[in-house]
Amino acid sequence: MLQVIPGTHWVSCPRVLQPVAVGNKTLTDYTHICGRELIAEIRELAEPLQGHRVAHISATAFGGGVSEILYTLVPLMRDVGLDCEWQVIYGREEFFNATKLMHNALQGAPQDLSEEQWAIWRRYGEINARELSDGWDVCLVHDPQPAALCQLVPEKAKGWVWRCHIDLSTPNQDTIAQLLPYIEIYPHSLFHMDNYVPDGMGGEVHVVPPAIDPLTPKNMALSPEDGAFVCGQFGIDVDRPLICQVSRFDPWKDPLGVIDSYRLVKETMPEVQLALVGSMASDDPEGWDFFNATIAHADGDPDIHILNNFNNVGAIEVNAFQSHSDVLIQKSTREGFGLTVSEAIWKGRPFIGGDVGGIPLQIEDGVTGYLVSSVERCAERTLEILRDPELGRSLGRRGKEHVRAHFLTPRYLRDYLKIFNALREA
């Protein structure tokens, strides 16, 4: 089918949104990690929802935390009896250029979308709204890219939920003013933190932090021998100290600041190495530009390893880098939540994170890791850990138990089931 978008080129679009194939998962497999009480609570909450049709709608099927969450959450929802699907919206480069700019503006960047870019966002919203199938008990819309769906086709689902995964604490006021009419009408909305909720939201607002899957290849237990072998394949010397940050290549993640901090550490400890590891996502057209800027900032240092999924770096490789690191970093300057924080801490390794967004939810400063606000402080904390291995081990142990209690997927599934039940009873 061809669709003409006025003012732009011809656009070919699908007849339906693209479904994402996910594997199978069984809630019972998490019992030994999360405990029988939580698993029993989930089963009880799921009982009145048997057969409920639930659609997750997102912008991309790979790259970033949203897709990683859904590859676990969707099959677990199916396992407890929901008829759950995950579909990805249609978009071309002009759309994702506009939504990347929107994402940055909503996190505080000064540049708003142009009138033409807002028109592109709305027009693709109309295409995706038309191609969304109907008959859903719950349509769960993730982030701003598909946010217009509820306003455009409210009749296609009995219940609507908007899930925001980004930091809206200090948004560009022009951008949030344009977006608000599309999101305030959702009967239920979810945010990571209280201060992310914009003024004017209607419906029932929930504060629900996301979670990680401890049984994925990225997070499962990996033997030291296997981890060392994988690291060696990428030129990392496992007998020398390793600092690692795993994140998308994005200015908000501050990989350039991580390199600057590493250089300060290296002045005292010349043998230290740095790995910057990230995935390139289809809805992030700026990613390659910033990846190249990061390489340029490294200036050919052979001890700085800058890797992404196009270097054959997948879940097992990320697991190996994290498991073998002496210090794990997430030096974000803005952060919606930062699942890589819980992923890192789950490996039992010492962690240093930016004191922003959702990172302090996951880190108690000085107890389960360290929070920093500058390059210099990051370097100081890194040296403290590298000089005192027992400090690193104790931070890692306490951090892992904090993640077990608060940030694993079964808890996240339970929170969604509570909301679905509230929609059913409304």
Take residue 391 and report the two structure tokens written for it: 């400090």
Does 147 score more than 70 pLDDT? yes
Among residues 377, 279, 361, which one has the least CA distance to residue 66? 279
Spatial contact of 412 and 30, defined as CB atoms under 8 Å apart = no
Spatial contact of 170 and 399, defined as CB atoms under 8 Å apart = no
H helix runs in 59-194, sequence order: 65-79, 93-106, 115-131, 149-152, 173-183
Q: Which strands make up the sheet holding 188-191, listed edge to edge?
A: 18-19, 83-88, 53-58, 136-142, 157-163, 188-191, 204-207
* pLDDT of amino acid 1: 37
* pLDDT of amino acid 15: 55
Cα gap 165→180, rounded to integer Å: 16
Task: State the residue for tokens 């400063």.
Answer: 365
Does 5 score more than 50 pLDDT? no
Among residues 299, 296, 318, which one has the least CA distance to residue 307? 318
Cα gap 93→85, rounded to integer Å: 25
Among residues 384, 339, 347, 387, which one has the least CA distance to residue 365? 384
Compare 287 and 269 and report the one with higher pLDDT.
269
* pLDDT of amino acid 2: 36
* pLDDT of amino acid 284: 66
User: Per DSSP, which regions of 283-345 are E strands?
Assistant: 304-308, 327-330
Q: Give the pLDDT band (50/70/90) at residue 110.
A: very high
Q: Give the pLDDT band (50/70/90) at residue 207.
A: very high
Packed helices 93-106 and 173-183: angle between N→C axes, nearest 10 degrees? 110
User: Per DSSP, which regions of 143-292 are E strands?
Assistant: 157-163, 188-191, 204-207, 242-246, 273-278
What is the amino acid identity at position 271? E
Spatial contact of 124 and 98, defined as CB atoms under 8 Å apart = no
Question: How much is the average pLDDT of 170-174?
Answer: 96
Please check whether the domain covering 2-211+408-425 is classified as CATH 3.40.50.300: no
Among residues 271, 242, 270, 274, which one has the least CA distance to residue 258? 274
* pLDDT tens-place string over residues 244-255: 999 988 888 999
The CA-CA-CA angle for residues 152, 158, 164, to 5°, reads 65
Does 380 score more than 80 pLDDT? yes
Find the range with the poorest average confidence among 179-188, 224-233, 335-344.
Answer: 335-344
Pairing of strands 304-308, 273-278: parallel
Phi-psi region of 203 (alpha: psi -120 to 50; beta: other; left: phi over 0): left
* pLDDT of amino acid 248: 86
Question: How much is the average pLDDT of 141-150?
Answer: 98
* pLDDT of amino acid 230: 96
Cα gap 269→392, rounded to integer Å: 17
Question: How much is the average pLDDT of 79-86?
Answer: 98
What residue segments make up the domains of the chain, in order of their start?
Answer: 2-211+408-425, 224-406
Question: How much is the average pLDDT of 395-419?
Answer: 96
Among residues 335, 292, 284, which one has the least CA distance to residue 102? 284
Spatial contact of 67 and 251, defined as CB atoms under 8 Å apart = no
* pLDDT tens-place string over residues 274-286: 999 987 765 566 7
Q: Give the pLDDT band (50/70/90) at residue 10.
A: very low
Q: b vs e for 320-338, b when ≥16 Cβ sit within 10 Å of the residue's Cβ?
A: bbbbbbbbbbbbbbbbbbb
The number of CA neighbours under 13 Å toward the Cβ of 214 is: 24
* pLDDT tens-place string over residues 287-335: 788 899 999 999 999 999 999 888 889 899 999 999 999 999 999 998 8
- pLDDT over 70, % of the chain: 95
CATH of domain 224-406: 3.40.50.2000
Give bridge partners of residue 312 from the DSSP assignment.
none
Take residue 108 and report the two structure tokens written for it: 């505080």
* pLDDT of amino acid 164: 96
Question: How much is the average pLDDT of 165-177?
Answer: 94
Cα gap 270→323, rounded to integer Å: 22
**Cβ neighbours for 27, distance < 8 A, ≥ 6 positions apart:** 39, 42, 43, 76, 79, 80, 410, 413
* pLDDT tens-place string over residues 227-245: 999 999 999 999 999 999 9
Does 4 score more than 70 pLDDT? no
Spatial contact of 136 and 160, defined as CB atoms under 8 Å apart = no
Give bridge partners of residue 204 from the DSSP assignment.
188
Neighbours of 174 (CB within 10 A): 13
Q: Confirm whether 2-211+408-425 and 224-406 share one CATH topology.
A: yes
* pLDDT of amino acid 273: 98
* pLDDT of amino acid 357: 87
**Cβ neighbours for 57, distance < 8 A, ≥ 6 positions apart:** 17, 87, 88, 89, 132, 139, 140, 141, 142, 146, 149
